[in-house]
A = this chain, B = another copy of it.
Amino acid sequence: MRKDPHQRAASELARRCVRCDKTFRPEAPEWVCVSCGGNLDVLYDYDELRRWWSKASLAADTTRSMWRYDAILPRGLIDHMPTLQTGWTPLYHAPQLGSELGVTKIELKDDGRNPTGSLKDRASAMAVAHAISLGQRVLACASTGNAASALAGMCANAGLTSVIFVPEKTPSGKLAQIIAFGSYLVRVEGSYDQAFDLAMAACSRFGWYNRNTGINPYLSEGKKTVAFEIAEQLGWEAPDWVLVPVGDGNIIASVGKGFEELLHIGFIERLPRLVAVQSEGSSAIVDALLGDGVVRPVEVTTLADSIAVGKPRDPDRALRAVRQSSGLGVKVRDSEILEAQSLLASKEGVFVEPSAAASLAGLVRLAAAGDIARDDRVVLLLTGNGLKDTDSVLDRAQLPAPIPASMESLERRLAEDPLGDHSSGIGA
């Protein structure tokens, strides 16, 4: 897995505030802007990078993980990466889904195939490597579940301690992972937003490494690798659209940063249009995109727990990513999310958690509205594995009654409910 030690990496030039453009030297301790409180982007010397990094040199690299792109990741962190193989997840063409929707070029980026089952593994792998480089041994975060299990797994792998703050209502699959990985679990009465504030205060109080979304600029450096992979897996042809489930906004901001960096260094020739998809029950960022551009906290009611965020923690960078790419925001109903989950599984054999299926629900809306055309190339970012939250399926499934183990019983069942009539998926 380790790279050639002669491999170079881009120079980190600065961190820059998304709101006021104030910059901080790489060695400065600030993670958020001291002037305005905005989140920071990590910037590299892209001109230098262009001189020695090319698609050809990348093609010769046999690394099959997010660390394949270490030339444009924080320098030296690859030396501290967890050994869990993270990133380089499959990108599947989805012809059956395409026929169903009348959009012929759908590609599924299945990030549920990461070590703990979600895209958040990319961020947590980077956080763990960063913490080790700083000599820190205790890492903490608040999470709706996926970031927590990712941090818990990566810390277990690296022999570090994780302290995880989760809202009371976290799906059992995610809690099971956190417990199994041996984290110090803090269940917080209330919502994700309250767990987040307590985690922030705790990192500050106890000096723990802060893996909270938005304020830690290095998480994006992990997450942006999914954009690199999409572009490379499509032969460096940017797709027309990338649809992204949005909660805090950090994933879509990172995807945007990834594509922008590829454009800067000349690996792609245009940006894909990014679509922020949110549940109607958690739509602070899309409301801002569709309205006056101001992100206001909302009451959260969605069942899509990974994107259930009342007060997004990376709103400015999320809005910027959508706008810079001439993208869109779209809201979907929870029922549409569940139908999309069923479609993905039954038409393509890719089982994702409800939040991840929001990207497909968004495509269904935009295709019906004519915003996305029949021949557009569309990538759906599938952010989490369906096994994370099996209750969401079982709660609405009508399990067939058991039958006695006899051919007579089987024939009776087949007569009542014929095979040919059996429609796929979780149901209407």
Contact = CB atoms under 8 A, between A and B. Distances in A.
Interface of A: 64, 82-85, 90, 92-93, 96, 113, 115-117, 138, 152-159, 161, 163, 168, 172-173, 175-177, 179-182, 184-190, 194-195, 197-198, 201-202, 205, 341-342, 345-351, 385-388, 390-391, 393-394, 397, 399-407, 410, 413, 419, 422-426
B156 A397 contact: no
A328 B399 CA distance: 41
8 contacts: A83-B93, A84-B92, A161-B422, A176-B394, A177-B351, A179-B394, A186-B413, A205-B407
Given A349-B82, A410-B186, A180 B386 contact: yes
A404 B93 contact: no
Contacts of A175: 390, 394, 397, 399
What is the interface of chain A mostly: helix, strand, loop, or mixed? Answer: mixed
B181 A351 contact: yes
B156 A403 contact: no
Given A116-B351, A195-B405, A410 B202 contact: yes
A407 B202 contact: yes
B173 A402 contact: no
Given A177-B351, A386-B180, A187 B426 contact: no
B92 A393 contact: no
A63 to B, nearest CB: 12
B190 A405 contact: yes
Contacts of A422: 161, 182, 184
Contact of A187 (B85, B190, B401, B419): B401
A413 B410 CA distance: 55
A138 B414 CA distance: 14
Contacts of A198: 405-407, 410
A348 B180 CA distance: 11
Given A176-B394, A195-B405, A198-B410, 19 more contacts: A82-B349, A85-B92, A115-B349, A153-B345, A153-B349, A156-B346, A157-B349, A163-B419, A175-B399, A176-B397, A179-B393, A180-B393, A182-B423, A185-B400, A186-B400, A186-B413, A187-B403, A189-B404, A194-B405
Contact of A397 (B158, B179, B391, B424): B179
A40 B329 CA distance: 57
A415 to B, nearest CB: 13
